[in-house]
Amino acid sequence: MGIRSIFSKPLARWVVERQQMWMYRPAQTQQHWFEQLVSAGRKTAFGRDHHLHDVRSVADFRQAVPVRDYEGLKPYVERILAGESDVLWPGKPLYLAKTSGTTSGVKYIPITRDSIPNHINSARDALLNYINETGKSDFLDKKLIFLSGSPELTEKNGIHIGRLSGIVNHHVPAYLRSNQLPDYETNTIDDWETKLERIIDQTIDQPMSLISGIPPWVQMYFDRIQERTGKPIKDVFPDFSLFVYGGVNFEPYRAKLFDSIGKRIDSIETYPASEGFIAFQDSQTEPGLLLLLNSGIFYEFIAADEYFSENSRRLTIDEVELNKNYAVIINNNAGLWAYSLGDTVKFISRDPYRLLVTGRIKHFISAFGEHVIGEEVERALQAAMQQHPETEVVEFTVAPMVSPNEGLPYHEWLVEFATPPHDLIAFAHVLNDRLTALNVYYDDLITGAILRPLQLTSLSRGAFQRYMKAQGKLGGQNKVPRLANDRVIADGLLAQNEPA
């Protein structure tokens, strides 16, 4: 046992003990952060514009500060980019995290000296919770890989700009940097396929113990290694014992990923975003992700089915209900105020508060009033894969076909299989039956002959990768949305589909 694994255990115990001080005092903890944030916000241009000096309660705050997305915040961000201080948060941000927006083009999310610990310590604490619960820490003494974007940063008016994963890379603790792979030069390669080959060159003969990344890109890493070696990952990396992931629902990828590995290993799910590190899996035995209530964020929640209503209610943590979908609204010490994160979550525990990430508030299909959400399509796919256990899915997305050449409209599921089901028609029937059971509006449309049952299109291998490459979004933290209300992604995928 090495020095890292030895010293990690008392640190893990200390972190978990401190964590319990706020886990079981959720309302008080959140009230503390509300007061801290408003106090600091009064010193900013945003605070003056929204009269934060007059805010004395959460109710006052909601009257003064409306919910907004990035477009609503953009004028303030542009002032920051121009070099102005004290705009959204006192001083200037340390960083602007550059991320892709669906309607905004590139988004620049501020990260301040006060907010950077939220990103760094939360990732650390996810590992320490695992160590404290399981007693397993030997993985820290071997090699660790984080499949991420480039750590190269640009600078404008004293602010560093780059991808979140690249920013975080600069804050990896010194005691881990010596066993982190790949090296800095490899991480800065822009072309994902070139970068991946270099990563494999550097890792294939190393004692890899922890691998972290978005599941589809980790799967690509595994696929390329197997092409080179002809071996399962467990034989290439016999020390591999922990997989850390986030960004997408793991379930559609689980079977193929573990088949590639060749054995079951422990995993930790995280919920990071450029806007803040929201939650992580704190237990290997309890479901859900622990909501981080004491890391510089004051949360509000809006019931997903009320989100687009003028009379939608903003709820604090003590007002949410179990098993109900909510849009996440954050206020944080980077200067995001009543900011709609765009994600939906569902709480499955209140003691402590644990959640599941269920989708995106704008990623749904409602071309006919059905409002099918990400959680529903993922659960339908999971049910179909359980009934057809031979099936392995690489990636999928769903889009409406509003005006087919003949017949009724339908939902088209575009699925890339690693191993297709023996009976594609039966597989599609399970998808449709499960979706009608999960969504009463979809069921009504099928029953009322407004829609016909979904159509499944099996894409050729590599279609999603070719599509992402064509969009300039191959690798890193990029992912294809599960759902869309138009055919842009679907038609792009079909254009990349190679005939069998």
Q: What does the pLDDT look like over 101-122, one tens digit per residue?
A: 544 468 999 999 999 999 999 9
Pairing of strands 276-280, 266-273: antiparallel
Tokens of 13: 């115990």
Of the candidates 408, 379, 402, which has an alpha carbon nearest to the alpha carbon of residue 491?
402
Note the pLDDT of residue 100: 67
Banded model confidence at residue 476, pLDDT cuts 50, 70, 90: low
Cβ neighbourhood burial of 230 (10 Å; 0-12, 13-18, 19+) = exposed
Report residue 54 CA to chain centroid gap. 36
Note the pLDDT of residue 103: 45
233 contacts 225 by C-beta, under 8 angstroms: yes
**What is the per-residue DSSP string for 394-458?**
EEEEEEEESS-SSS--EEEEEEEEEE--S-HHHHHHHHHHHHHHH-HHHHHHHHTTSSPPPEEEE
Note the pLDDT of residue 437: 93
For residue 236, which phi and psi values (nearest 5 degrees)?
A: -75, -45
* 3-class state of residue 244 by DSSP: strand
216 contacts 253 by C-beta, under 8 angstroms: yes
Q: What does the pLDDT look like over 289-341, one tens digit per residue?
A: 999 999 999 999 999 888 888 889 999 999 999 999 999 999 999 999 999 99
Q: Please name the residue that has the structure tokens 């270099």.
A: 198
250 contacts 378 by C-beta, under 8 angstroms: no
Tokens of 493: 């995928």
391 contacts 458 by C-beta, under 8 angstroms: no
Of the candidates 154, 168, 74, which has an alpha carbon nearest to the alpha carbon of residue 117?
168
Q: What does the pLDDT look like over 410-429, one tens digit per residue?
A: 999 999 999 999 999 999 99
**What is the per-residue DSSP string for 35-93?**
HHHHHHHTTSHHHHHTTGGG--SHHHHHHHS--B-HHHHHHHHHHHHTT-SSSSSSS--
Note the pLDDT of residue 497: 86
Tokens of 204: 């294939």
For residue 375, which phi and psi values (nearest 5 degrees)?
A: -60, -40
Q: Please name the residue that has the structure tokens 């991480």.
A: 187
Q: What does the pLDDT look like over 50-105, one tens digit per residue?
A: 999 999 999 999 999 999 999 999 999 999 999 999 999 999 999 999 986 544 46
Report residue 46 CA to chain centroid gap. 28
State the Cα–Cα distance between residues 339 and 360, nearest whole angstrom: 14
State the Cα–Cα distance between residues 214 and 226, nearest whole angstrom: 19
pTM of the model: 0.81
State the Cα–Cα distance between residues 500 and 498, nearest whole angstrom: 6
399 contacts 364 by C-beta, under 8 angstroms: no
Tokens of 171: 């804050």
State the Cα–Cα distance between residues 290 and 293, nearest whole angstrom: 9
Task: Give mean pLDDT, residues 256-278.
Answer: 94
166 contacts 149 by C-beta, under 8 angstroms: yes
Cis bond leading into 352, ω under 30°?
yes
Which long-range contacts (C-beta less than 8 Å, at least 24 apart) are formed by 151-157? 151/184, 151/187, 151/188, 152/188, 153/95, 156/81, 157/81, 157/82, 157/83, 157/92
State the Cα–Cα distance between residues 250 and 269, nearest whole angstrom: 8
Task: Give mean pLDDT, residues 455-459.
Answer: 96
State the Cα–Cα distance between residues 222 and 240, nearest whole angstrom: 12
